[in-house]
């Protein structure tokens, strides 16, 4: 296999989760680094659990992360006849056999093993049946599954991440290839499709490691070239437990709606198992493509650290194009019904440049900077208790009277006027600023107060302070 061809093969039984996305990213980076092909195969063979809207959702998330497939998407369910054909071929080659046990018989054996506390393994009874018996059962229409006949010996392979890996075949049971209802199982479907798609490298999570010897044996039984395998470390949550849908928000789309940037999430997910050159943590896609090598992929599991994601996202927001960020914030505002004529793109862009150094996500702009887009409806209680004291009240009221008369509304003059006034009345400038901030934002933290006043404009500032004095006094 000269050409590098990799695939991401999600089962559409749920949303694209961050663990799956990480697998996709490593495949994509490897393909891009090698000038190979990145393919997408939707493994939708389970009719009960696979939903077409979930396939669409997976594809949307992949596109959002910037990983489109280089060839038309393969839908595994369309290949079922081909999978059956290969099962037939394995039967003909005597690499597989009919198994006539009923589900009830197998269940009884399983229970019996459990009661003896031994690991259940299929006893190969059907493999011993004579040709006559098999023909008789088949002619009677007795239901059967098809099982793969595991050869004796060991299965050894060089995993690109884990190195030499060996399984004793005696530990692998003669697994089912096709169920009695004629449906092929994952093991055969994945091998046939990977072969037909000329996949050169199978890159997937460590949870598939134990499937690999079974799949290698299938390739060999068919006389097909075996691809290379790379198993990626598991992702753990902060409690060092496997990342789970129950405990963590794991769908890629959730991160999008929480205000993470696609490039930042991509960068963060890559760090789950990949160590960039020079210990860099903020690495562009192009640099990641250039740097990607399995030598930099860890064997040990990686921890999903939300704080790190927030930090990476904040770095991307700081350095991103302000127009791009402003457009994302505006979309959020539209969802929140917070746009009007004065909240136009230029205004949002001004908010972005004021706030971008202090946010972690796009949603932070609308959450912590909501006052830029609507009147504050309440004023922070603790802030009031702390700053709104009897001494400052008359001073602030006088400052407000002066402010109303201000004819020039620019940052330097606003600051100078406030500081001069504070000196004149013998109060600290900070005392006035705290109240100004509370009255204009309802909060005790905000970007620079004079920049904020400039951006809100005189009319709004005067109205808000008046409203504050009316409500609070």
Which lies closer to ligand GLU via its Cβ, residue 83 or residue 332? 83
State in angstroms the smallest separation of the CB of 31 from ligand GLU: 15
State in angstroms the smallest separation of the CB of 239 from ligand GLU: 23
Asked if 218 interacts with ligand GLU (CB under 6 A), we say no
Which lies closer to ligand GLU via its Cβ, residue 71 or residue 107? 71
Name which of residues 355 to 374 contact ligand GLU (CB under 6 A): none
Asked if 11 interacts with ligand GLU (CB under 6 A), we say yes
Which lies closer to ligand GLU via its Cβ, residue 230 or residue 236? 230
Which lies closer to ligand GLU via its Cβ, residue 52 or residue 170? 52
State in angstroms the smallest separation of the CB of 199 from ligand GLU: 10
The one segment of 7-15, 279-287, 368-376, 390-398 that binds ligand GLU by CB under 6 A: 7-15
Name which of residues 41 to 60 contact ligand GLU (CB under 6 A): 43
Which lies closer to ligand GLU via its Cβ, residue 45 or residue 248? 45
**Whether residue 318 lies in the annotated active site:** no
Asked if 190 interacts with ligand GLU (CB under 6 A), we say yes
The one segment of 9-17, 125-133, 242-250, 341-349 that binds ligand GLU by CB under 6 A: 9-17
Which lies closer to ligand GLU via its Cβ, residue 252 or residue 325? 252
The one segment of 5-13, 129-137, 235-243, 431-439 that binds ligand GLU by CB under 6 A: 5-13
Q: Which of 6, 10, 176, 199 binds ligand GLU (CB under 6 A)?
A: 10
Instruction: Judge contact between 35 and 3, C-beta under 8 A.
Output: no
Which lies closer to ligand GLU via its Cβ, residue 204 or residue 387? 204
Q: Which of 5, 147, 204, 285 binds ligand GLU (CB under 6 A)?
A: 204
The count of chain residues that interact with ligand GLU, using the rule CB under 6 A, is 7
Three-class HEC string of the chain: CCCCEEEECCCCCCCCEHHHHHHHHHHHHHHHHHCCEEEEEECCCCCCCCCHHHHHHHHHHHHHCCCCCCCCCEEHHHHHHHHHHHHHHHHHCCCEEEECCCHHHHHHHHHHHHHCCCCCCCCCHHHHCCHHHHHHHHHHCCCCEEEECCCCCEEEEEECCCEEEEEEHHHCCCCEEECCCCCECHHHHHHHHHHHCCCCEEEEEHHHHHHHHHHHHHHHHHCCCCCEEEEECCEECCCCCECCCCCCCCEHHHHHHCCCCHHHHHHHHHCCCECCHHHCCCCCHHHHHHHCCHHHECCCCEECCHHHHHHHHHHHHHHCCHHHHHHHHHHHHHHCCCCCCCCCHHHHHHHHHHHHHHCCCHHHHHHHCHHHCCCCCCCCHHHHHHHCCCCHHHHHHHHHHHHHHCCCCCHHHHHHHHHHHHHHCCCCHHHHHHHHHHHHHCCCCCCCHHHHHHHHCHHHHHHHHHHHHHHHC
State in angstroms the smallest separation of the CB of 20 from ligand GLU: 7
| Catalytic residue (choose from 136, 198, 245, 386) | 245
Q: Which residues are catalytic?
A: 245
Which residues form the interface with ligand GLU (CB under 6 A)? 9-11, 43, 190, 204, 208
């Amino acid at each position: 296999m000269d050409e590098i061809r990799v695939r991401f093969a999600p089962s559409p039984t749920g949303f694209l989760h961050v663990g799956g996305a990480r697998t996709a990213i490593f495949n994509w980076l490897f393909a891009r680094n090698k000038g190979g092909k990145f393919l997408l195969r939707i493994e939708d063979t389970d009719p009960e659990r696979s939903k077409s809207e979930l396939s669409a959702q997976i594809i949307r998330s992949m596109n959002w992360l910037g990983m489109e497939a280089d060839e038309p998407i393969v839908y595994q369910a369309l290949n079922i006849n081909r999978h059956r054909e290969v099962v037939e071929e394995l039967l003909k080659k005597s690499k597989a056999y009919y198994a006539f046990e009923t589900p009830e018989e197998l269940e009884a054996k399983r229970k019996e093993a459990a009661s003896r506390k031994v690991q259940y393994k299929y006893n190969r009874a059907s493999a011993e049946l004579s040709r006559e018996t098999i023909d008789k059962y088949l002619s009677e229409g007795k239901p059967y599954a098809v099982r793969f006949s595991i050869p004796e010996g060991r299965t050894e392979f060089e995993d690109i991440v884990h190195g030499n890996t060996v399984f004793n075949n005696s530990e692998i049971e003669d697994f089912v290839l096709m169920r009695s209802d004629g449906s092929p199982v994952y093991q055969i479907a994945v091998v046939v499709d990977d072969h037909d798609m000329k996949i050169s490298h199978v890159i997937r999570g460590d949870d598939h490691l134990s499937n690999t010897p079974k799949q290698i044996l299938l390739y060999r039984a068919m006389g097909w070239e075996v691809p290379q395998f790379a198993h990626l470390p598991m992702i753990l949550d902060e409690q060092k437990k496997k990342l789970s849908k129950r405990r963590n928000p794991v769908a890629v789309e959730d991160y999008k709606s929480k205000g993470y940037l696609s490039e930042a999430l991509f960068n963060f997910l890559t760090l789950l198992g990949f160590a960039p050159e020079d210990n860099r943590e903020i690495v562009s896609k192009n640099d990641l493509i250039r740097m990607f090598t399995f030598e930099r992929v860890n064997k040990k599991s990686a921890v999903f650290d939300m704080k790190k994601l927030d930090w990476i996202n904040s770095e991307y927001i700081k350095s991103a194009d302000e127009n791009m960020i402003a457009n994302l914030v505006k979309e959020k505002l539209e969802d929140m019904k917070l746009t009007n004529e004065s909240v136009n793109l230029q205004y949002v862009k001004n908010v972005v440049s004021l706030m971008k150094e202090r946010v972690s996500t796009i949603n932070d702009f609308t959450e912590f900077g909501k006052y830029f887009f609507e009147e504050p409806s309440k004023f922070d209680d603790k802030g009031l208790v702390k700053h709104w004291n009897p001494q400052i009240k008359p001073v602030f009221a006088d400052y407000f009277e002066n402010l109303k008369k201000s004819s020039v509304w620019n940052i330097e003059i606003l600051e100078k006027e406030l500081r001069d006034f504070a000196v004149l009345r013998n109060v600290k400038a900070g005392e006035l600023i705290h109240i100004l901030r509370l009255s204009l934002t309802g909060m005790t933290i905000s970007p620079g107060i004079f920049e904020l006043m400039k951006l809100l404009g005189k009319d709004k500032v005067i109205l808000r302070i008046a409203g504050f004095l009316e409500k609070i006094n």
